[in-house]
Structure 1
Amino acid sequence: MSLITNVMDHSLDDGYAEAAARRKSEGEGGLPKTLRAKLGLAAGLVLTALVVTVGAAQARVTAPVVAKERQELIDRIDSETADADKLESTVDTLRDDVSARQRAALKSSGGSAEADLVGLLSGATAVHGPGVKLVVNDAKEAGGGGDGSNPRETSDFSDTGRVRDRDMQRVVNGLWASGAEAISVNGQRLTALSAIRAAGDAILVDNRPLVPPYTVLAVGNGERLSTGFQNSADGLYLHALEESYGIRATISTEGDVRLPAAPSVTVRTAQPKSEKTEKGTS
């Protein structure tokens, strides 16, 4: 009877009782591990859903404000651009009027053909005559260099299919060397004080940004100018860019090209040599 009584009173092994007591003392008692994991996952999902809901609500509230500020900025840019265009148009009109008055004053004071020639060569007056039209454009897929040797000099720019400022410098210098008497790039008349520079990927001519394609007009003997440029080192350089980087260029002779006057020709240092100076130094 004592054995039966002992089995009834101690139906579980003492080891189970000790393990249960140990887990309870360590704070792991109560719920099974699987149930605790499920509850933790559910709590995490609820918290994530709460964060997403709050974020979406905040975004919905702030979206109209951001859109309004963006539209106000766009409207301001458009307005300022329109004002700048009007001012530029006014400046061009006044500049043309000043040039006309200068020419009239020269004629009334006995201006000679030499003075007209000086104005023509300096870019102060509009010109027209036979010449060439050279159009230079980026590659169709600008962004990757060719497999050929690199004809460009080392610079901070990566060699891509984009036309660079140094490319246009060589084109213009090649035309001058081939006999061009007057040159313009995208309507910008070049003078002895003109500069072709870069600002990022944009090309600036006298600080005015240009966009491709770049149309270069040059006054001179059309056939001779075209042949001389294409056979020159700068013409061969442009041909190498076509072959290696896909840059597009076309040149054609024109019976009459018209070039505008330069926006402004301001001389700050040079002075004309007077007769008194000539006598004093002789």
Structure 2
Amino acid sequence: MTLINEMLTRPLDPSYAASAARRVAAGEPPHTSVGTVLVTLTAILIGFLLAVAAGSVRRDAPTAQGVRAELIDQITERRDVVEERSRAIAARQQEIAGLEAASLAGAGASLTARLQRLGIDTGSSAVEGPGLIVSLADRPGPADPEATGVDQGKVLSRDVFIVVNGLWQSGAEAISINGQRLTVRSPIRFAGAAILVNFRPISPPYEISAIGDPDQLPELFAQSVGGAYVKSLSDNFGIVTSVTAKDDISLPGATRVSIDRARPLGDGS
């Protein structure tokens, strides 16, 4: 009962009264009800602003999700348009090749063979033959949470670039990456989380198909820097790799072949 009576008769702790007495003795102004009211109003105002901000964030969240979904739809739509136009370009190229073959039927075998060779060299003509398929895929499983910077288990554009150069140096006559035919002007780049070939995004696994001499290409590639690099990717970073010899590989013609400079033949034809 003594504790209850003490709380009823003296609700304020004695230490508060002692602190107030010390402030007065030190010449400081005592606390007033006005100050308490201002503090209370300030706290209420801050709470109100926080509540308004939280409500605004919650209201804007569906809007942001809607904008993101719209952007994804636009990207998908544009990608479908690009795919459709690429197929149309390939079809027109086949028609042009047929018309050229028909018009050159009586022009002589040497000229026809020369044009076919140039089409293979420039990458504008579809080709088929024996060769190698080098496959690169990201390391299976989740990314290392303790890794910093670039994920060492992810295939990068420089990995693809080094392998492609190794194939060229080993005698490859034609190369494509996931169906994208390479020419002397084909860029291989890294943009965000995607690898771009001919400015087109490709997805793993990355299949690098190369046509070449079946008796020399596999051995020369295994001995090249590119072959050693493929083994290093597997041994050191867990990237899934494979090198497979094939008797018949079909590569499409490039859809982006342009001419910057041209001159007439010396005989005036």
Q: By the TM > 0.5 criterion, same fold?
A: yes
The residue type equivalent to 1:51 in the other structure is I
Tell me if structure 1 keeps the 8 A contact 2:187–2:197: yes
- Tell me if the contact between 1:24 and 1:30 (Cα under 8 Å) persists in the aligned partners: no
For 2:58, the aligned partner's letter is A
Q: Secondary structure at the match of 2:216?
A: helix
Task: Quickly say closer, same or farther: Cα 1:203–1:79, change in 2 above 3 A.
Answer: closer
Q: Any gaps of 5 or more consecutive residues in structure 2?
A: 1-20, 106-111
Partner of 2:5: none
CA distance in 2, matches of 1:22, 1:81: 69
How far off its partner does 1:206 sit? 1.8
Q: How does 1:185-264 map to 2 (within 5 A)?
A: 185-200=177-192, 202-222=194-214, 224-264=216-256
Taking only aligned residues, the RMSD between alpha carbons, in angstroms, comes to 3.8
2:27 is aligned to: 26
The answer to whether the 8 A contact 1:223-1:253 is kept is no
Q: Confirm or deny: 8 A CA contact 2:138 2:205 kept in the other structure.
A: yes
Aligned residue pairs total 240
Shift of 1:180: 1.7
C-alpha displacement of 1:27: 4.5
Residue 270 to residue 249, structure 1, CA distance change in 2 (3 Å) = farther
Matched-pair contact (CA < 8 Å) for 1:139–1:161: yes
Matches within 5 A, 1:1-282: 23=24, 26-27=27-28, 51-52=46-47, 54-64=49-59, 66-111=60-105, 112-140=112-140, 160-200=152-192, 202-222=194-214, 224-271=216-263, 273-276=265-268
In structure 2, C-alpha distance between the alignment counterparts of 1:21 and 1:113, rounded to whole Å: 108
- For 1:6, the equivalent position in structure 2 comes to none
Q: Do 1:130 and 1:257's aligned partners in 2 also have CA atoms closer than 8 Å?
A: yes
CA shift, 1:145, in A, is 11
Q: Which amino acid aligns with 2:133?
A: K
- Aligned partner letter, 1:220: G
Deviation (angstroms), 1:171: 0.7
Alignment-mate amino acid for residue 54 of structure 2? A
- 1:136 touches 1:250 (CA, 8 Å); kept in 2? yes
In structure 1, runs of 5+ residues without a counterpart are: 1-19, 32-38, 147-156, 278-282
Percent of counterpart pairs with the same letter?
31
2:46 corresponds to which letter in structure 1? V
Q: Partners in 2 of 1:30 and 1:56 — Cα distance?
A: 30
What's the CA shift for 1:70?
A: 1.5
